[in-house]
Copies of this chain bind each other. A is one copy, B any other.
Amino acid sequence: MSSQFGHLFRISTWGESHGGGVGVVVDGCPPRLALCEADIQADLDRRRPGQSEIVTPRDEADTCQILSGVFEGQTLGTPIAVNVFNKDARPEAYREMEHAYRPSHADYTYQAKYGIRNWQGGGRSSARETIGRVAAAAIGKKVLASVCPGLEVIAYVRSIQNIQAEIDPLTVQFAQVESNIVRCPDAAVAARMIDHIKAVRSEGDSVGGIVECVVRGVPPGLGEPAFDRLEADLAKGVLSLPATKGFEIGSGFQGTTLRGSEHNDAFFMEQGRVRTRTNRSGGVQGGISNGEAIVFRVAFKPTATIFQTQATVSPAGQDVELKARGRHDACVLPRAVPMVEAMTVLVLTDHLLRQRAQNG
């Protein structure tokens, strides 16, 4: 139950960072969609380690293999299994973690929950677990494209620590995001972010930041009234990513300082379509998409694993010190961008099929 997401487009991820591999089974995918490994690989390459000089140097090609659910280049409607084998696991670099919990990491809580943990890496709490999500979302994009041509999901780095970019969610382009290694579409600010990450890393420290995501071209009507509100499911999706601490949609926390008369989005008609003059709602009203752009932000904390000596405790219950080795991101944001997109695609795909089921 823990490792599944979605009701109709349902994914089951599996794998630890330092086991045989990681992967996903996608159940409920519509049939007759063109799908091949290259479709998935393109997205995996955007999240893989070693892709640039500001991410972890762990050397994984993350080559995926489709084992089922596709026949002669088309989806069958049956479960699609995608595997990625671990190639560059170095468990010996985690030897210290056997005897010391990393502060603000999941080492202690896994031990408290299960009475056992795979200390050779981050286990399921590793960003490596997200490979299955990104692979599944690559398939979800095919579904979205077939039902809602023109729908776009674009995430990008909005801030790194105190360095902030201003980006217009209505016009930002995927190519701008991908034009630099930090995935901030403001090239000037991106350069400063990159320098900052390098400097922080050279000190054995880490930084966090904010990812913003926009969905354009979404039809009105997606989402459910009570619990499975679109924003609630988006929040759950992205906050199930490692290192996340917050989610806000539309006006978000800042919107609490406005009055209703300032905050409300006036409706008007435009070429036969209901539109809003402003978009403080962030594209969702009453839990259901209204056809405007969906815009939300996700807070990522600084990476827990740093290369400085920290006070902590051991599984044996003693106060100890830990200085981590191994290969870790000093800043997870550049790789978090495709992860946020993936969770967004998964939520939208599921709600699209749900909408089709109930409302035809």
Known: A14-B69, A306-B260. Contact between A227 and B5, CB under 8 A? yes
B14→A2 contact, CB < 8 A? no
Q: Tell me the smallest distance from the CB of A269 to a CB of chain B, in Å.
A: 5
- Docked-complex contact B123 and A264, CB < 8 angstroms: no
Smallest CB gap from A224: residue in B = B2
| B356 A108 Cβ-Cβ under 8 A | no
CB distance from A68 to the nearest CB of B (A): 4
* Contact partner, A236, options B22, B29, B125, B233, Cβ 8 Å: B233
Known: A1-B224, A78-B123, A280-B301. 12 other contacts (CB 8 A): A12-B79, A13-B226, A20-B66, A20-B67, A76-B117, A77-B358, A109-B284, A112-B220, A235-B247, A252-B299, A253-B297, A354-B357
Interface bracket on A:
35 or more
A83–B15 Cα gap in the complex (Å)?
Answer: 13
Q: Which residues of B contact A242 (CB under 8 A)?
A: 286
Please tell me if A149 contacts chain B, counting CB pairs below 8 Å. Answer: no
B267 touches A306 (CB 8 A): no
Answer whether residue A174 sits at the interface, using C-beta atoms and an 8 A cutoff: no
Chain A residues 1-57 with CB under 8 Å of chain B are: 1-5, 7-8, 10, 12-16, 19-23, 25, 27-32
